[in-house]
Amino acid sequence: ARIALKNSPVIADNRMAALTEPWSKRHKAVTRNDREGLQYNLSNSFAQPTSQAELERLARERGDDELIAAYRDHPLGYTPNGGSRDCRAAVADSIFSACQADDVLITAGGQVALQTVAFALLEATSSFVRGYETPRSHAVVFTPSYQSCQEAPLHAGAAVRKVRLTRANGWDIDLTDLEIACRADTKLILINQPWNPAGTLVSREKLEGIVEIARRHNAWILADEIYRFLEHDAATRLPAIADIYERGVSIGALSKPFGAGGASLGWIACRDAEARQAFKDAMYFGTACPARASELQALMVLRARDVLLERNLGIIRRNLEIVERFLGENSDLFSYVKPTAGCVLWVEFKGPLTSTELGAALAEAGISMKPSYCFTPDPDDGVDQYFRIGFGEEKVPAAIEALARFVEAKRNEWGFPRRA
């Protein structure tokens, strides 16, 4: 049962352990994602995809011929549980400041990393072990957000409290609300920064406040840092939680910043050796080890990190200008909080349709976006009119042009005629 705490933006979710239906399942059906898809895609949330040919070209340019040869002729045996050392070292060197190779585990993507950590750290039921009672774990998450950032602890069997983020607060985390949500026995706080779906980012001071709350409760912080390195101003980049907090766990992947989701490679970073062993134990029952081909592609990506990030951020900045120009020209219909990181933007539609209805109408016109139901099933979150636009790819300008034509054709029908 979901219970809203009186006069508080905190919601208790006391369902027992079970996998839940994917919120994006309906969206994939509406946009024919499992078939040919739609002509204009504003649903994607990753930077411009790279290609194997591009990775090999960049490798040749820096004289990395041995890496190309290794990729083209590598044994198809198992890799070590938790990943090969060269890949773990590359992630540590490229992504973290304090974490070393031994602090990193390689996973088959970021989704696997989230679930692995939740299952390893959280207890599903009260039980007695060696004469001591182990209570059902308690976790705190934030809504609206990516489904796994809300429900991975639930899948692991934890009792969950959700902290509601609001437009009135600029989608920022309110430390008072977080403190209210935490209990004496809170074991995990799960954050996602930069935040999907709005592309907003808390301040360094706010992050330190979150750490202080976690430390007072002796709680872990699991940080989904999937959009890290796509800050529009590098000066706003937050440190990885695993670098600054002794009970911090950072997860990330090649997908969002580097446009290499097809490599299916992510990571878990944590400086607590006992926790890392628990993560490795949990991995035995999922994706026990990554593919060596993915690890070698990761080496190619991370050795070309600066080149890929410069290219991708250039595309993102240009696309954001185009998106904001469209929204500004149609400000009677749309409003938003300016994103500062990543390649996603959370838009309010002021017209007569919910985002679900708008998404279906756009799909009929060959345009996809992500309605609010992809980020929360709870109408009390107050975001039925919101939808997410992704603007990380080179094809975005054409999609915005199509969206502009659609809006112009619907204005009179919606009761928002264009004024001279």
Task: Please state the pTM of the whole predicted model.
Answer: 0.93
Q: What angle do CA 394, 398, 401 make, to 5 degrees?
A: 140
Question: CA 200, CA 165: separation in Å to the nearest integer?
Answer: 11
407-411 average pLDDT score:
97
In the chain, % of residues over pLDDT 70: 93
Q: What angle do CA 159, 163, 167 make, to 5 degrees?
A: 155
What's residue 121's pLDDT?
A: 96
Res. 193: pLDDT tops 80 = yes
Instruction: Concatenate the DSSP letters of all residues of 189-251 into one string.
Output: EEEESSBTTTTB---HHHHHHHHHHHHHTT-EEEEE-TTTT-BSSGGGPPPPHHHH-TTEEEE
Going edge to edge, which strands form the sheet with 334-336? 334-336, 344-349, 386-390, 370-371
Q: Where are the alpha helices (DSSP H) in 304-414?
A: 305-329, 355-364, 396-414
Q: What is the dihedral of CA 37, 43, 48, 54, to 10 degrees?
A: -30
Residue 45, C-beta contacts closer than 8 angstroms, at least 6 positions apart: 196, 197, 256, 342, 343, 344, 370, 388, 390, 392
Pairing verdict, β 186-192 and 248-253: unpaired
Q: Which residue has the higher pLDDT, 61 or 123?
A: 61
Closest CA to 42 of 290, 358, 271: 358
pLDDT band at 9 (very low <50, low <70, confident <90, very high): confident
What's residue 3's pLDDT?
A: 54
Query: Residue 397, Cβ neighbours under 10 Å: how many?
Result: 16
252-276 average pLDDT score:
97
Residue 128 has, within 13 A of its CA and on its CB side, a CA count of: 2
Residue 266, C-beta contacts closer than 8 angstroms, at least 6 positions apart: 106, 107, 108, 109, 110, 111, 112, 113, 251, 252, 253, 254, 255
What's residue 165's pLDDT?
A: 97
Res. 4: pLDDT tops 80 = no
Are the C-beta atoms of 169 and 192 separated by less than 8 Å?
Answer: no
Question: CA 325, CA 198: separation in Å to the nearest integer?
Answer: 17
82-91 average pLDDT score:
98
What's residue 130's pLDDT?
A: 46
pLDDT band at 153 (very low <50, low <70, confident <90, very high): very high
Res. 127: pLDDT tops 60 = no
Residue 249 has, within 13 A of its CA and on its CB side, a CA count of: 27
**DSSP H/E element including 33:** none
Are the C-beta atoms of 228 and 252 separated by less than 8 Å?
Answer: yes
Res. 181: pLDDT tops 50 = yes
pLDDT band at 20 (very low <50, low <70, confident <90, very high): confident
pLDDT digits (tens, 9 = 90+) for 353-377: 999 999 999 999 999 999 999 999 9
pLDDT digits (tens, 9 = 90+) for 314-356: 999 999 999 999 999 999 999 999 999 999 999 999 999 999 9
Are the C-beta atoms of 143 and 299 separated by less than 8 Å?
Answer: no
Tokens (6 digits) for 252: 């990330």
Q: Which residue has the higher pLDDT, 403 or 3?
A: 403
Res. 133: pLDDT tops 80 = no
Res. 174: pLDDT tops 50 = yes
Pairing verdict, β 10-13 and 159-164: antiparallel
In the chain, % of residues over pLDDT 90: 86
Q: Is the peptide bond before 144 cis (omega within 30 degrees of 0)?
A: yes
What's residue 129's pLDDT?
A: 47
pLDDT digits (tens, 9 = 90+) for 203-245: 999 999 999 999 999 999 999 999 999 999 999 999 999 999 9
Closest CA to 396 of 373, 374, 368: 368
What's residue 10's pLDDT?
A: 78
Pairing verdict, β 10-13 and 127-129: unpaired
Lowest mean pLDDT among 91-105, 276-290, 299-313: 276-290
pLDDT band at 8 (very low <50, low <70, confident <90, very high): low
Question: CA 6, CA 362: separation in Å to the nearest integer?
Answer: 38
What's residue 123's pLDDT?
A: 84
Residue 93, C-beta contacts closer than 8 angstroms, at least 6 positions apart: 302
Average pLDDT over the chain, rounded to whole? 93
